[in-house]
Structure 1
């Protein structure tokens, strides 16, 4: 989310940061052309935050945190192995991995032991709220506000107290296309320069897509999952197909690609209609019967007796049907 129209210099005097933020917010041109400036505008004018405010981040009490974790449901458990793998690759660089819900509440984390105190002092810890309305521009809250992945590098943060961090956040959408969580990697190390931060950001996006796909597979475990060729390019693009070949579920990426809404699944459409391959697949009762005969034969390894039994018809009827569709060979 870095923008060349807003110079970013980690070495800038932090005491001047607040004045810089206010100057950018006052510039209508910057706010109109830069996503970062637009976030600073929201932080200062919409949420009424002060960039100089350095109070520690409030953390939810244990009972409230448990409620948020329970509300996350399977997403929390499904994310665990992905977070572990991501942390194993970036933890040695002093980076921490965080999972938040759509309110910006930190539900889970992986933090190097050497960095525990650093992140706890920064207020980036389980139970802390990192929504944009609370913290201003940051890798978690801005990701939620804009429903897209963001890289907030050091003094691109709104608050002076957060400018020591680099934060890379990626959204995770649930099986029904709703924003459910954010996967974030943050570092307080100065040796994490911008090129390295961009590489880490890509890893975070890949991991978030994996969690989203894993959650979709889990939600529609009894359905056939169809992967679109564009899957992975702009998020998870997956469809759930039921036993009648109706499309009963789709990820956010799939919904966007095909213009699907929640209403689309109240009266599910045949997969052939949605994907426009009816001509190749064939439509009508004749085509449907031919497909079912071929499937039954394949499942029975060509055994006619077993095929007839599977279809609930006699061998004589089976042979007539096969001959009708040119399948006797």
Structure 2
């Protein structure tokens, strides 16, 4: 990159930092953090820092369950974006990619840019960038080309979203990066939709893996695609909730530390009799379905008499085919 371009980018950043723009712009606020807090120079051309193999191994081990939960979503996301010269990076909460997907033909290019496992992309090291800034601001964002703090990174376009674990804690970031000069901001917006969708699937799979013996319910929230899930044990007590569910339903960790009936949390308690009747109706219908409509077989499976089952079916107005 030419010295004139490097100097122009650095000057533009310094001018924005000393203006009042940081109060209005999240991007300029990140530039200011990079300069004032982390003492970085936008014109610094040092290559990206890499962890040692041992350090990368430790980093991977710390998030191993998440890496397992993410595999199919990373593959699916790469199928969507790999053909247009992008790579997919799963970074831990320290901004270190621990898993990636990329075309072998692009490996040399991406490695030279630091878009590789073991590189350090936190804001403290790299200034404003997709992974580091996403982890600081805990929101999905795109850092497109000259929005990067370091001049050396202005050839990149990075779209990133945060990942929260089964306890609702920030644990990782999912990034799609490109160093293609013809990648437009509009196309980056399309990539953002794919990244956020992949994050929801990774969070849901990680949540299911954390609560393998529980039933996973979709919480009754306005945004059905928000990933608001709760885990309910065999006694219908809530034992877990995703970050989206915690935010939507006002669930704190203290709530989960003591047993809480799902009916109370989901507002079913107010309609107790109707909900109980609905639950009982569901049990009877499932028993009948498994018995192919045979009332005697269903009663036997439920451990009640045929007469008792008939009374329940009539009271709850459950129709049967036999």
1:201-251 superposed Cα distances (whole Å, 9 cap, x missing partner):
211111111111111122222222111354554x41111122222221111
Deviation at 1:77, TM superposition (A): 1.6
- Aligned ranges 1:121-160 → 2 under 5 Å: 121-160=112-151
Tell me the equivalent position of 2:283: 295
Distance 1:32 1:109 in 2: 35
Deviation at residue 51 of structure 1 after TM alignment = 1.2
What is the CA RMSD across the aligned residues, in angstroms? 2.6
1:84 matched to 2:46: no
Q: Structure 2 residue aligned with 1:268, among 252, 259, 262?
A: 259
Distance 2:86 2:148 in 1: 17
Q: Does 1:196 align with 2:184?
A: no
> Structure 1: how far apart are the matches of 2:242 and 2:309?
43
- Equivalent positions of 1:191-270 (< 5 A) are 191-228=182-219, 229-231=221-223, 233=225, 235-270=226-261
**CA distance, structure 1, for counterparts of residue 140 and residue 316 of structure 2:** 54
Once the two structures are TM-superposed, the CA of residue 111 in structure 1 deviates from its matched residue by 1.8
Change (3 A) 1:89 1:308: closer
Alpha-carbon shift at residue 130 of structure 1 (Å):
0.5
- Which residue pairs with 2:5 in the alignment? 13
Distance 2:135 2:24 in 1: 20
Which consecutive residues of structure 1, in runs of 5 or more, have no partner in the other structure?
1-11
Once the two structures are TM-superposed, the CA of residue 84 in structure 1 deviates from its matched residue by 1.3
Which segments of 5 or more consecutive residues in structure 2 lack a partner in the other structure? Answer: none
Give, in whole Å, the separation in 2 of the partners of 1:104 and 1:232: 30
**TM-score if structure 1 supplies the norm length?**
0.86
Preserved CA contact (<8 Å) 1:247 1:265: yes
Residue 298 of structure 1, CA deviation:
3.8
CA distance in 2, matches of 1:151, 1:263: 35
Determine the C-alpha separation between the residues in 2 that align with 1:87 and 1:290: 43
